[in-house]
Amino acid sequence: MSYANTQVAQIAAISSNRCIGKGNELPWHISADLQHFKKMTTRSDAQSSQTESTVQGIVIMGRKTFESMGSKPLPKRVSFIITSQLDYAEQKGLVGRDNAHVVHNLDDALTQAASLAHGVHLDTIWVIGGERVFNDALMYTDRIELTHVDTEISDGDAFYPELPSDFNVVKESEQMHNDKSDLNFYFVSYQR
């Protein structure tokens, strides 16, 4: 189902009741999951030649997700931020920035991201949240990378959508344990 020959992938960490956020923050801190996210969404230098662009990843997110990351674009990645606020780029000082683009719908984000991906030879665009963006992007998504965190978040306010039945598990990691949060978690790759 690729969008303009570019794979659309989603990445999220979800609790057993599908919670992905609470008070516009992750409901836990698991450094191995954050490292996994960075590794997945950033192409390593070994894969890109020096002549290519310094862009090593493309991420699409909603405004609240962007703000939950301190309203700063992720290092080495270009961020497409979806918001209905027409003056958002001005408000956040993002006008003219190469690493952050404000768009007003998912279609524009996907179209511009696919065009950029083609230009810098990246084969994947990453959708990184939040709830509404994940939901709206599901029909364009080829692959989903989920970190399943073994906990129930009763007071969460953002949830990951149910996976459509045409997604199958293609890879699953061993269960791991995070000592700081005392939580078990594992990584699962789903493919359409």
CATH number of the domain where residue 86 is located: 3.40.430.10
| For residues 87-94, average pLDDT | 96
Q: In which band, very low, low, confident or very high, does the pLDDT at 5 lie, cut at 50, 70 and 90?
A: confident
Name the DSSP letter for residue 140: G
For residues 44 and 169, the model is more confident at 169
pLDDT at 112 over 90: yes
Write down the pLDDT at residue 48.
Answer: 47
What is the total residue count of the chain? 192
- 15 in Cβ contact with 158 (< 8 Å): no
Number of structural domains found in the chain: 1
Write down the pLDDT at residue 50.
Answer: 47
pLDDT at 65 over 80: yes
For residues 190 and 2, the model is more confident at 190
Write down the pLDDT at residue 45.
Answer: 59
For residue 178, being part of any structural domain is answered with: yes
For residue 136, being part of any structural domain is answered with: yes
For residue 47, being part of any structural domain is answered with: no
For residue 48, being part of any structural domain is answered with: no
For residue 104, being part of any structural domain is answered with: yes
Decide: helix, strand or coil at residue 83: coil
Which tens digits make up the pLDDT trace of 133-191? 999 999 999 999 999 999 999 999 999 999 999 999 999 999 999 999 999 999 999 99
Give CA–CA dist 189/104, Å, rounded: 29
Give CA–CA dist 144/163, Å, rounded: 9
For residue 49, being part of any structural domain is answered with: no
For residue 87, being part of any structural domain is answered with: yes
pTM passes above 0.85: yes
The amino acid occupying position 65 is T
For residue 110, being part of any structural domain is answered with: yes
Domain ranges, residue 71: 7-42+54-191
Mean pLDDT is lowest, of 16-30, 46-60, 101-115, 128-142, for: 46-60
